[in-house]
Every structure is written in structure tokens, then in C-alpha cells.
Amino acid sequence: MNILKRTAALTAAALLCIISSPRIPSAAAGSGYIITEPAAEKSGVLTLDDGQQWYRVNSFEDDGEYIITVKDGSGREVIFTASDSEASEYIWRYYRRIMVSSVTPRYTSLNTRSFSLCCHENELYTASSWWTEGDCMWEYVGGSLRYTENGSFSYLKYNEDSSEPFSCTENASEAAQVSLYSRGGQLGRCIKVQPHAESYVLEGSGYAAPRFTAELSPPDMTVDSIRWFADGEEQSCASLTFTADTLRDRPAGTHYVSCLIEGHDSSGIHYRERSEDALFVIAKGVIPDSVLTFSDLHEQYDLISTAIGDVMKQTGGYIPSLVICTGDMVHGPTMDKDSLLERYYPRIVSRLGGLDAVFVSGNHDSGAAASAMSAAAGLGAENNTDGGGTIFRGGSPAASANGRNSRYAKGLIVYGLNFEAAETERDGLTAYSYENALSGLEAFLKKTAADYKGELVIISTHSGLHVLGIQPESVSSYSGRLSSWIGENQYNVSRSCDMAQLINSYAEKYGMDIMYLFGHDHSRQEAEILMTEGDTLVSTADYYERSYSSQPLHFTYANSGYLSTSIGSADAHFSFIYRDGDKFGFDRFRAADGRIFHEDIPAKNLFTAEEAQPATTQTATAAKTAVTTASTKKTDSPLTGSTRIKLVPLVIAAAALLLSRKKKNK
């Protein structure tokens, strides 16, 4: 789905959220629940009177249509139907509210065209009219239909001898035996491990044909068909492992591999799932000490691949040496660790194309999951907790041994500050302050300063340091002023001024190149910010007292880029940062239309450690030629909108082959 279609779909979902939010139910006159008998059911296929066939599945999926059946005393399946004097309907649409704050209660609904399946205080209704609080969720659990309301469970109960056969019960043993039937492009999910590229390859290196494998769940399901696709064209392969010979000997660029799997199991559950489009990268080389970073994905994982491809187009086929995902990888109320690791992380990996990546949590994510993902990358993560820690250290033995493209990022160190690090308690309620994060960050800065060799130190975090609406650069995407203190405490984190002062002190005392990169503010309509040394940062002292302080920056303070299109001012932005001699290039890409906003940031140091040479098949002369050609492209300044010449970072790859780096004399 392209960006415009995806945006339209999510906008429609947001409107549905407003219409169908949780309320206290009220019974509609003359309405209730009855049974309808299907024409036939066999081997998990439900056939209706008009010949339609629906297939048994094992879970609800967002925005899916379902027929719900229950078993009567003879073992027949009959259809759960809502009815009144005007209509009888049994096709239910499932909706999970996602376009909400991370602290919003979880909510799902089941609706036909005329009826809403509602349960309140263990009573069953066909309509709702008043608001209620807390989690309100319909779930399919262990063959029963369960409703959660403010922590209490109710189960659908069926009594075929009653004039009102359907009711609710708190006793799980009394729950009706329920089956779900669906149709359409996706049935039950069956892909446990998404196909993905193990690593990038080099143009002209004679690389072997890449192999892609899908692992299934349940593993004993009967596979009815497997279809593989490379760049949209179907391939002649019907096994779970696909060797993509068609992708050999290609020029530098990006390619996509996916599969469509259909099957069933012995209990009559049917599966049909299309995998993620797995990115396969053919590169000319790696840009040393470069970072592709973004925040606020909100499940638009296709934009990761788009971002990698855009960097390669701009650099003539070269890739970044590290990817940093800075929070809000999912939608809705904060996702638990297991769901993020089992369902969503594999989708992200598929889109990375084998490039090294580390992760930081946002307010919608689990910090424990983000730390686990960074640790699993094996790139120098240390002292990692739910609140974060060091997630990449380019000069570490782990990064040198385990890195692929990140072997060429010895001049980078990344500290991940998960969103949980800002959570604290005030008067028995959750509040947001950096008071518990300061000691961990100071320990990191102290250790880094003790052995500092001129690396670029990135503090990657979801939450910012400035006061929304008071910081002069805090404006809407249309350059309009934001209201002072707009948003809640999680956007104006207490003791931000102390955090900024701590970073400033190390940047100034030790001459460290530090960048603080954040996300999050797009849902408050704020345009992206890029501030450098000498600019004045206005930071929160105490949110509840509306107190703040100002200080000149000795580090770079900027957005990672809102790489989604679905909430607030998010506009498919990501950032590409690279060392360019005695300065850093900071390119903000907009994936939606290909525009690039460029800024040069003076470096205080040149990295002095011996570096690995960039993986490349080009000579230094050829790389310089590519730079000369590409550098004629014009881009816009993010601050003035003026046109300027952009220095493409391929010059770094060429220079690294010829020159050793020396620390700048002060």
C-alpha cells in the first residue's frame, strides 16, 4: 500500500475510533441475539445459503470481517446473529483502536452494519450510548469469546433451550464453544519468522544467490501452497526456503522478496498470510561513521526500506554504517514485551535488509523489548535495563566481531534512553521526570570521556528536552506558534534542564561531539527541530510549576525524523548523519516526495582510532567521480528554505582510502 492510500486508511480508522469508542451499553427496543443455521460446515469451511465459503481461523485481525458460531447440544455449529424487527445480521467487523495515546485504555469492538456487540456488568446488549473507563476488549481465547471490562472477564454463553439463548457468564467453564470464520486475502496468521536477508552484499563481488526462509506456526500445519515473489514477479519455488537466483549479478540497489502461504491444520483452522516484503540490498560500499535514524514508525515498516533505498540513491549506491530506530514502533496503548518481540520485531528485521540496527523504546513500546533487541544485535550493548543504556560502541570487540556494515562505524557511540527512563511517580500517579535517568547517563558520559578519541556520541531517545510552545523553534508544521506548555508532562519532562546541563558540561569540558536525537512530538503537531552549538535551549525544570531555564547549547539537539504519515505532523522524515572531514553532514530526507534538507555541523574533533576500510568495489578515483556527479543536486535548507549545494557523503568513502585521520589541534 502506498503512502497516500495508507494515510487514507488510517484516517478512516481514526474516524471509526471516534464513532465507536467504549461506552456504557443500553438495550435497543426489540433487539437481541438469535441463531442462524449455515447451509453446511465441513473441515473448517462454513458454507452459507448463497454459496459463500468462510474459513475457520484462530484469532481476530484488525479490521477483519468474521462470522461467529457456537456449538449446540448435538455438536452442530450455528451462527451467532444480532436481530430486531427490521434486520438480522451476523457478519461482524473487528476493530482495534490504535490511533490513541499510549496511556489510553485498550479497546476493541465487534460491529455489524446495524448492531454493536456490547457487554456491561455481565449483561449482553446490541447497542451502547454512554462512556465507560478502563480496558474494554473482545478477544478470542481458548475457543471462547471473552470480554474484558476494567479488569473483569465475561464470556459468551449459549443456552439453546432458552427464549433468549445468548447471555454472559463470569464462569469460564460455562462459556460457549465458539469458532471464528473469515474470508479474504488474509486468514489465520502462520508465519512465525518472516523471510529476511542475512546481510547486504556488494556489487560485483560474485555473491551467492540470497536465500530467504519462512518459519511457520504451528510447525505441524499442512501447507497447501507456497508462492514466492521477487520484485513483484512470481517465482518457481514451492518450498519454505527460496534461493533467489534472479537477484544475482545485479547493480547496486534495493530489491524485495516475499511469500504467500496457505495451509490448514488437523482442527480445521485455515491459514493464509502474505509475508513482509523482505529487503535485499546490493551496495557499492559503506559510508564510514554514518547513521540512518528515525522515530515514530507506527507500524509503517515499509518506510524503513524506503529510507535505506533513498540513502542509496543519494549516495550513488552506498549504505549507512548503522540504523537507529528511536521509538514508537507500534500503535496504540503501550505494547508488552512479548508481543513486540514475537510479532512486530520480525517484521522490522525483514525490512532492514541485513543492515545492523539498534533500538530505543517510545511511549508506545516496551523498554525491555527495545533493550533486548539492541542486546541481540551484539554491537557493544552494555548496562542495558528497561530504561536503556549503551546500545552501540563502535570500537568494542563485540561490534568488530559481529558487525556487518557497522564494522565501519568505529567512530560512533550510541546511548539509548528508553522512554521508561523518564517515568516516575508523583502523588501516587505516573509522572515524567529525568531524575532517575541522570545518574545512568552521567556514568556513560564519564566512561566515554575517559577514553575519548573524537567519536561522535549519539544520545538516542524518544522524549525531548525543550518546552513545547516556549522554545522559539517549537512551531507547527505550518510555522504557526504552539500554545505554551502544549501537551502533558510526557512532552515537557521535568528536570530536562538538568539533563541538558549534564550533556553540556561534558561536551564543553572534554570537547566531545554529542548529538541528542529525539522524536515523539509529532502528535502535538510540532515541526522538526535542528539546533546546534550556540543556539539557546529552553528546558523544563518542573512541569507542574511551569518552571524552566535557558542555556546555550554545546551539543546538537535535533529530531531523528518522524518516519510515518499517520499522526499529527509526521511527514515520513528520517535523518542521515555522516562525518565529512571537519564537519558532520545532517541530511533530513522526506520519503514522501524525495526532498532533502541539509545542514553542515562543525565537528570539534577528527576521529583518531585506526578504522576499518569501507567495503567497496570502487577505487578512490571512481568514488570521487561519483561525488562530483551527485553533488550537483540541490537541496533545501531546513531553517531558511533556501537552495544550497549538498556535499554527498561518498567523499568520505574516497577519502578514507587515502588519508589517515588526525585529531584537530586546539
The average pLDDT across 263-273 equals: 95
Residue 21's identity, in one-letter code, is: S
First to last CA, the chain: 53
What per-residue confidence (pLDDT) applies to 294?
97
What per-residue confidence (pLDDT) applies to 219?
83
Share of the chain above pLDDT 90, in %: 75
Contacts of range 481-486, beta carbons closer than 8 Å, 24 or more positions apart: 482/524, 482/525, 482/526, 485/543, 485/546, 486/524
- Beta-carbon count within 10 A of 82 CB: 25
DSSP assignment of 250-262? PPSEEEEEEEEEE
Confidence at 496, pLDDT banded by 50, 70, 90: very high
DSSP assignment of 96-122? E--SS-TTSPPBEEEE-SS-B-EEETT
What per-residue confidence (pLDDT) applies to 151?
87
In the three-class reduction of DSSP (H, G, I as helix; E, B as strand; rest coil), residue 602 is classed as strand
Closest residue by Cα to residue 321 from 614, 630, 647: 614
How distant, in Å, are the alpha carbons of 426, 552, 652, 659 from that of 603? 40, 17, 14, 18
Confidence at 141, pLDDT banded by 50, 70, 90: very high
- Stated as kind and residue range, the H or E segment containing 509 is helix 496-509
The average pLDDT across 469-488 equals: 92
Q: What does the block give as the cell for 500?
A: 541538558
Q: Which residues of 491-529 are buried (b: 16+ CB within 10 A; e: fewer)?
A: bbbbbbbbbbebbbebbeebbbbbbbbbbbbbbbbbbbb
**Cα–Cα distance for residue pair 460/662, rounded to 1 Å:** 27
**Strand partners for 243:** 211
Q: Could you write out the three-class secondary structure of 177-211?
A: CEEEEECCCCCECCEEECCCCCCCEECCCCCCCCE
The average pLDDT across 259-275 equals: 96
CA within 13 Å, CB half, 220: 4
**Strand partners for 25:** 128
Q: What does the block give as the cell for 316?
A: 550513488
Residue 174 clears pLDDT 70, i.e. is over it = yes
Residues in the chain: 666
Confidence at 99, pLDDT banded by 50, 70, 90: confident
**C-beta of residue 472 within 8 angstroms of C-beta of residue 526:** no
What per-residue confidence (pLDDT) applies to 487?
84
The average pLDDT across 105-130 equals: 90
The average pLDDT across 455-474 equals: 96
**C-beta of residue 176 within 8 angstroms of C-beta of residue 187:** no
**Torsion-angle region of residue 110: left (phi > 0), alpha (psi -120 to 50) or beta?**
beta
**Cα–Cα distance for residue pair 197/305, rounded to 1 Å:** 12
Q: pLDDT by residue (tens digit) across 343-385?
A: 999 999 999 999 999 999 999 999 999 999 999 999 999 888 8
- Beta-carbon count within 10 A of 24 CB: 15
Confidence at 289, pLDDT banded by 50, 70, 90: very high
What per-residue confidence (pLDDT) applies to 100?
83
DSSP state of 13: H
Confidence at 627, pLDDT banded by 50, 70, 90: very low
Confidence at 30, pLDDT banded by 50, 70, 90: low
Q: What is the mean pLDDT of the chain?
A: 87
In the three-class reduction of DSSP (H, G, I as helix; E, B as strand; rest coil), residue 249 is classed as coil
Confidence at 653, pLDDT banded by 50, 70, 90: very low
- Measured in degrees and rounded to the nearest 5, phi and psi for residue 310 equal -65, -40
Q: pLDDT by residue (tens digit) across 581-623?
A: 999 999 999 998 989 999 999 999 998 765 444 444 443 333 3
